[in-house]
Amino acid sequence: EAQVTQNPRYLITVTGKKLTVTCSQNMNHEYMSWYRQDPGLGLRQIYYSMNVEVTDKGDVPEGYKVSRKEKRNFPLILESPSPNQTSLYFCASSLIGHEQFFGPGTRLTVL
């Protein structure tokens, strides 16, 4: 089944404790992206990647890192999480210029 998977789906952590949210797709898509969704602000793009070893900042990249060492994986790294990074995070993938497939979301709470 074609899908985008994210792990974990739910995470509660404390300020400053490094964490990684994984994203994987099995559709051989070149394009992958991370978004955060917050009440009143909607979806905002954090980082995206056009292909292996190619990443670009979105609208809200501060406090996040990404890597694209393999085509199927695009992990989101929070080196030192802060409470303002409490959010619902979505990973998505697509062929370049085509409709995006979204993962199920990761609900992160930083205390």
Using CB under 8 A as the criterion, which residues of the chain lie in contact with another protein when the complex forms?
31, 33, 35, 40-45, 48, 50, 56, 58-59, 88, 90, 92, 96-102, 104-105
Question: Closest separation between CB of residue 45 and another protein, Å?
Answer: 4
| N- to C-terminal Cα separation, the chain | 36
Question: Closest separation between CB of residue 102 and another protein, Å?
Answer: 4
Identity of the residue, 9 or 18, whose beta carbon is nearer to another protein in the bound complex: 9
Q: Is 46 helix (H, G, I), strand (E, B) or coil?
A: strand
Identity of the residue, 67 or 102, whose beta carbon is nearer to another protein in the bound complex: 102
Give the span between the Cα atoms of 41 and 23, in whole angstroms: 23
In what order do the strands lie in the sheet containing 19-25?
Answer: 4-7, 19-25, 76-78, 65-66
Identity of the residue, 48 or 74, whose beta carbon is nearer to another protein in the bound complex: 48
Q: Is 2 helix (H, G, I), strand (E, B) or coil?
A: coil
Question: Closest separation between CB of residue 51 and another protein, Å?
Answer: 10
Cβ contact 102:32 at 8 Å = no
Question: Closest separation between CB of residue 6 and another protein, Å?
Answer: 11
